[in-house]
Amino acid sequence: MKILVINCGSSSLKFQLIDSDTEQCVAKGLCERIGIEGSMITYSPAGGEKEKTVTPMANHTQAIQLVLNALTNEKTGVVKDLSEIGAVGHRIVHGGEKFSTSTIIDDEVMAAIEACNDLAPLHNPANLIGINACKELMPTTPMVAVFDTAFHQTMPEEAYLYGIPYEYYKKYKIRRYGFHGTSHAFVSKRAAEFLNVPYESLKTIVCHLGNGASISAVKNGQCIDTSMGLTPLEGLIMGTRSGDIDPAVIEFLANKEGMSVNDVLNVLNKKSGVLGLSDNLSSDFRDIEDGYFKGDENAVRAMKTFCYRVAKYIGAYAAAMNGVDVICFTAGVGENGPLVRSLVCEHLGYLGVTIDEEQNNKRGDDTVISTPDSRTKVMFIPTNEELAIARETYRLVK
């Protein structure tokens, strides 16, 4: 069965068509600037040429229509007609406490996703628009919602509650939810498979280090803690996000700089992280890495602070699980950044971690980067959120 995976943002839409039998991507692409002047669609069929077309897209329905046209195009398309697309899997950012697993989309599910809009005001409304647009154009095709938060719903209360009055949890559901769940689930399962150990008996720490970064503790096949919170601002230092800070900084900065709470949150979301720490050198780890090797003090500061925070969380999660068998790095930096992996692991001697730098400098598929006698295994595993969404979709509709 061919499964269309849709990741819909407010003005962009990423798509992949995946064959559930071979698990290969048949075609993929991106619609950008939806509803804005200069909209364009990029389309790459597997093994074919990538094409970019500037064309108006007034709304998401028009964008999805263009995606479907591209997929069924006589010359460059990959399916004869839409009946070949067996199901659509939608990435949904926030499922609140309602969704602990993926689910077939019906009216009730749509309403429940909408009820989580408050928790993810930038993402959930856009995700819903994507579902509605697909429903309009493919009314009989089954659709599945796969939530970023679902994998983390197994966290125990002591991990998800904040130390604030309990009434705010009861009234507003303020708590840790966690994100990147599809990736944390995919990578932790893959680690168990690769190591040939039952998933249910492994203690894994997954470091998803991309522009957005989060880390999770997966014990015996269940997530027991993760670093992102009510929103994706908490936890690790990221490309432009601060991660953990003293909440009192918000008022302090607002007073000193004459900013509103919104202004300060904008700083914490968009101007902080390695970008802010490097004194605006870059939010891109390739630049930070280059600068580090040249001895640029801004890059060194950003790199060391970033890695120290990751290492601190690994320590916390090793304690939370009473041990750790395998530490996995994934996402843009986790998969491609030997320097980050190496600097993080320098802090992990107490876990018996020793790194084989030759292995660490490799790129590509799942690779063990610790030495054979390392007490804790360390690996990098490329994540594949689209494939994970396609698998979930197939599981529910087959």
Site for ligand ADP in 334-363 (CB under 6 A): 336-337
Are the beta carbons of 148 and 181 closer than 8 angstroms? yes
Q: Determine the residue with CB nearest ligand ADP.
A: 332
Pairwise CA distance, residues 42 & 16, whole Å? 12
Phi-psi region of 202 (alpha: psi -120 to 50; beta: other; left: phi over 0): beta
Query: Is residue 332 a contact point for ligand ADP (CB under 6 A)?
Result: yes
Q: How many residues bind ligand ADP (CB under 6 A)?
A: 13
Question: Which DSSP category does 210 fall into?
Answer: S
Asked if residue 333 binds ligand ADP (CB under 6 A), the reply is yes
DSSP 95: -
> How far apart, in whole angstroms, are the C-alpha atoms of residue 2 and residue 5?
10
CB nearer to ligand ADP: give 25 or 331.
331
- Closest distance of CB 364 from ligand ADP, Å: 12
Q: Which residues are catalytic?
A: 148
Query: Residue 343 has which token pair?
Result: 């600097």
User: CB under 6 A: which stretch of 59-67, 333-341, 342-350, 353-361 binds ligand ADP?
Assistant: 333-341
| Cα-Cα end-to-end distance for the chain | 9
Residue range at the interface with ligand ADP (CB under 6 A); choices 116-124, 304-312, 321-329, 331-339:
331-339
* Shortest distance in whole angstroms from residue 282 CB to ligand ADP: 8
Residue from 331, 343, 369, 390 in contact with ligand ADP (CB under 6 A): 331
Q: Which is nearer to ligand ADP, 51 or 284 (CB)?
A: 284
- Angle at 6 (CA atoms; ends 396, 46), nearest 5 degrees: 100
Burial of 37 (0-12, 13-18, 19+ CB in 10 A): exposed
CA atoms within 13 A of residue 278's CA, in its CB half-sphere:
29
Site for ligand ADP in 219-258 (CB under 6 A): 239
Closer to ligand ADP by Cβ: residue 174 or 340:
340
Nearer to ligand ADP, 119 or 228 (CB): 228
From candidates 160, 285, 292, 380, binder to ligand ADP by CB under 6 A: 285
Q: What are phi and psi of 370, to 5 degrees?
A: -90, 160
Q: In the sheet where 40-45 sits, what is the strand order?
A: 51-54, 40-45, 24-32, 13-19, 2-8, 85-92, 143-147, 103-104
Q: Contact between 284 and ligand ADP (CB under 6 A)?
A: yes
Measured distance CA(327)–CA(185) in Å, rounded: 14
Beta strand segments in the chain, E: 2-8, 13-19, 24-32, 40-45, 51-54, 85-92, 103-104, 143-147, 203-209, 213-219, 222-226, 326-330, 367-368, 377-380
Interface with ligand ADP includes 289 (CB under 6 A)? yes
Residue (390 or 397) nearer to ligand ADP, CB: 390
The mark string for 175-214 relative to ligand ADP (x by CB under 6 A, - otherwise) is -----------------------------------xxx--
| In the complex, least distance from residue 211 CB atom to ligand ADP, rounded to whole angstroms | 3
CB of 174 to ligand ADP, least distance (A): 25
Q: Which is nearer to ligand ADP, 284 or 356 (CB)?
A: 284
Could you say whether residue 71 binds ligand ADP (CB under 6 A)? Answer: no
Only one of the segments 27-35, 38-46, 74-82, 280-288 lies at the binding site for ligand ADP (rule: CB under 6 A); that segment is 280-288
- Residues at the contact surface with ligand ADP, assessed by CB under 6 A: 210-212, 239, 284-286, 289, 331-333, 336-337
